Amino acid sequence: MKVIPIKASAGITGFESPAAEYKQLELSLDELLVEHPGATWLGRAAGDSMQGVGIFDGDLLIIDRSLNVRNHDVVVANLNGEFVCKLLDMSRRLLLSANAEMPPVPVSGHDTFTLEGVVVRSVRCHRSSYLLTE
């Protein structure tokens, strides 16, 4: 896997150093990852049911409550008191895993069900952080 630094070209005038050809972009992870700060919350993935969409056990989920949910969005829902991260099949009222070994979960009128938001990003930490300890 290649790692490509984020750079912006800058015009060269005079005899500047060749290293000055590129300047590092100012990059705010808050601005990149969180579009609606007042409606965004974080969760942590647990389990392997969403690996097919690139969400792995322990990943940090960035969840936006302000978005209108679309069919087959990755959502966080509260189903009978338990938070779950699934693909939402609105027409069939199913919560789908992105792992073929996991069956769909039907949502019936007898269930307590609320959508808590759309998963807009996931972040994988490759070294533990004291900020993420329970």
Q: List CB contacts of 125: < 8 A, sequence separation 6 or more.
A: 58, 60, 132
Q: Are 119 and 85 within 8 A, CB to CB? A: yes
Given 7, 49, 108, 129, the catalytic residue: 49
Question: Does the structure show a pLDDT above 70 at 4?
Answer: no
C-alpha to C-alpha distance for 30 and 36, rounded to whole angstroms: 10
Question: Does the structure show a pLDDT above 80 at 10?
Answer: no
Count of CB atoms situated within 10 Å of the CB of 97: 21
Given 86, 97, 128, 129, the catalytic residue: 86
C-alpha to C-alpha distance for 109 and 4, rounded to whole angstroms: 49
Q: Are 85 and 121 within 8 A, CB to CB? A: no
- Position 29 scores a pLDDT of 85
Q: How confident is the model at residue 31 (pLDDT cuts 50, 70, 90)?
A: confident
86: annotated active-site residue: yes
- Position 117 scores a pLDDT of 96
Domains belonging to the chain, first-starting first, are: 36-132 (2.10.109.10)
Question: Does the structure show a pLDDT above 80 at 8?
Answer: no
Question: Does the structure show a pLDDT above 60 at 11?
Answer: no
128: annotated active-site residue: no
Give the residue, 31 or 87, on which the prediction is more confident: 87
Question: Does the structure show a pLDDT above 90 at 62?
Answer: yes
- Position 45 scores a pLDDT of 93
